């Protein structure tokens, strides 16, 4: 299946700083892809490039088979909710819906009205007078009702309360199941991503550190616990991502496609949060083995 988003050697530079570099990835259609990384890693930059709000400095990016932002047909395929969930402060909620209907050919008015009603947003209230979370909900409603092929969401749930967050993620999953929507969603809330994402991109310091299907990534990573041991003695096909040691015991997170044959290790599965943290904690230029860390 043709990817909904494809980048090759994509880079973005501000003055002398590369804030995204060598980014090569495919995002599959019809799935929810989580985009994670520390502050300043380049997540918003990647999403803005995909939305056509920024132009690349190097490399290529293709979204829904076209160049981002290249014309009305392309714009209608992509929905984007930027990090600050922009709305028009002087327009009412109802006016936003009318604007959405005018500007978008595939506008789903029933969905928009139903959502606004369910959220209890007053149609006559100006967006500038909504709370941060309510404004985010309005922006997300506009993006969903546009019925794009690809929805790009930059930390969409950050301002929502826990119940609203759960309901929004549910709405998102329904749109994926019913309309084949593709979503790329950046978030620092790994628990949320765990519930909705089946693909993952980890960006660290302007580079893609890890990308793939969540289940495959999880099954290639393991937690090893056993008698204290220097991790540099592990087989070459076991990449050590993190290591901690007490006087007697070592705990490692490793990546390997091969079976782990050493009987000294107790092998455990890791969850998405531990997987992501292992990559975030490890500098991109760390050698195959991180420095020995002693925990007492």
Ligand X SMILES: Nc1ncnc2c1ncn2[C@@H]1O[C@H](COP(=O)(O)OP(=O)(O)OP(=O)(O)O)[C@@H](O)[C@H]1O
Residue 210 CB contacts under 8 Å (≥ 6 apart), including other chains? 200, 201, 202, 217, 279
Closer CB to ligand X, 64 or 206, in the complex: 206
> 42, 39, 37, 33: which is closest to 14 by C-alpha?
42
CA atoms within 13 A on the CB side of 146: 24
Report, in Å, the least distance between residue 70 CB and ligand X: 22
41 near ligand X (CB under 6 A)? yes
44 near ligand X (CB under 6 A)? yes
Considering only residues 5, 10, 19, 210, which one is a binding residue for ligand X as defined by CB under 6 A?
Answer: 19
42 near ligand X (CB under 6 A)? yes
176 near ligand X (CB under 6 A)? no
40 near ligand X (CB under 6 A)? yes
Residue 129 CB contacts under 8 Å (≥ 6 apart), including other chains? none
34 near ligand X (CB under 6 A)? no
With CB under 6 A, what is the number of residues at the site for ligand X?
A: 10
39 near ligand X (CB under 6 A)? yes
Compute CA distances 39 → 45, 74, 206, 242, whole Å: 12, 30, 11, 21
Considering only residues 2, 9, 14, 114, which one is a binding residue for ligand X as defined by CB under 6 A?
Answer: 14
16 near ligand X (CB under 6 A)? no
Residues making contact with ligand X (CB under 6 A): 14, 19, 37, 39-45
């Amino acid at each position: 299946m043709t990817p909904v988003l494809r980048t090759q050697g994509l880079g973005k530079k501000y003055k002398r700083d590369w804030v995204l570099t060598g980014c090569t990835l495919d995002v599959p259609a019809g799935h929810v892809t989580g985009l994670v990384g520390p502050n300043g890693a380049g997540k918003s930059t990647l999403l803005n490039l995909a939305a056509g709000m920024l132009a690349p400095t190097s490399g290529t990016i293709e979204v829904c088979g076209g160049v981002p932002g290249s014309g009305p047909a392309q714009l209608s395929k992509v929905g984007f909710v930027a990090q600050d969930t922009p709305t028009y402060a002087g327009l009412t909620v109802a006016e936003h819906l009318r604007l959405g209907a005018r500007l978008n050919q595939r506008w789903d008015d029933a969905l928009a009205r139903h959502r606004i009603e369910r959220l209890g947003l007053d149609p006559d209230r100006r967006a500038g007078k909504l709370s941060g979370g309510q404004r985010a909900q309005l922006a997300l409603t506009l993006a969903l009702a546009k019925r794009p092929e690809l929805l790009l969401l930059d930390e969409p749930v950050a301002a929502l309360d826990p119940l609203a967050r759960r309901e929004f993620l549910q709405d998102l999953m329904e749109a994926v199941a019913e309309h084949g929507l593709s979503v790329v969603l950046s978030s620092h809330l790994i628990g949320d991503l765990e519930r909705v994402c089946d693909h993952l991109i980890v960006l660290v310091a302007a580079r893609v550190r890890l990308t793939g299907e969540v289940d495959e990534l999880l099954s290639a990573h393991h937690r090893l616990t056993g008698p204290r041991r220097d991790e540099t003695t592990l087989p070459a096909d076991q990449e050590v991502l993190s290591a901690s040691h007490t006087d007697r015991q070592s705990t490692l997170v490793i990546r390997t496609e091969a079976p782990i044959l050493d009987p000294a290790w107790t092998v455990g599965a890791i969850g998405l949060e531990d997987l992501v943290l292992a990559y975030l904690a490890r500098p991109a230029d760390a050698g195959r083995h991180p420095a020995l860390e002693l925990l007492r």
